[in-house]
Amino acid sequence: GENVEQHPSTLSVQEGDSAVIKCTYSDSASNYFPWYKQELGKGPQLIIDIRSNVGEKKDQRIAVTLNKTAKHFSLHITETQPEDSAVYFCAAAQKLVFGQGTRLTINP
Contact flag: residue 24 with another protein (CB under 8 A): no
Closest to 52 (Cα-Cα) out of 25, 29, 26 = 29
Q: What is the DSSP letter of 82?
A: G
Smallest distance from another protein to CB 71, Å: 17
User: Angle CA(64)–CA(68)–CA(70) in degrees, nearest 5?
Assistant: 105
| Binding region for another protein (CB under 8 A) out of 14-22, 37-45, 56-64, 67-75 | 37-45
Asked if 46 touches another protein (CB under 8 A), the answer is yes
Q: 69: left (phi > 0), else alpha (psi -120 to 50), else beta?
A: alpha
One residue of 89, 102, 104, 106 binding another protein per CB under 8 A: 89
Question: Considering beta carbons, is residue 80 or 90 the nearer one to another protein?
Answer: 90
34 counts as binding another protein under rule CB under 8 A: yes
Q: Find, among 82, 86, 50, the residue nearest to 68 by Cα.
A: 50
Residue 96 makes contact with another protein by CB under 8 A:
yes
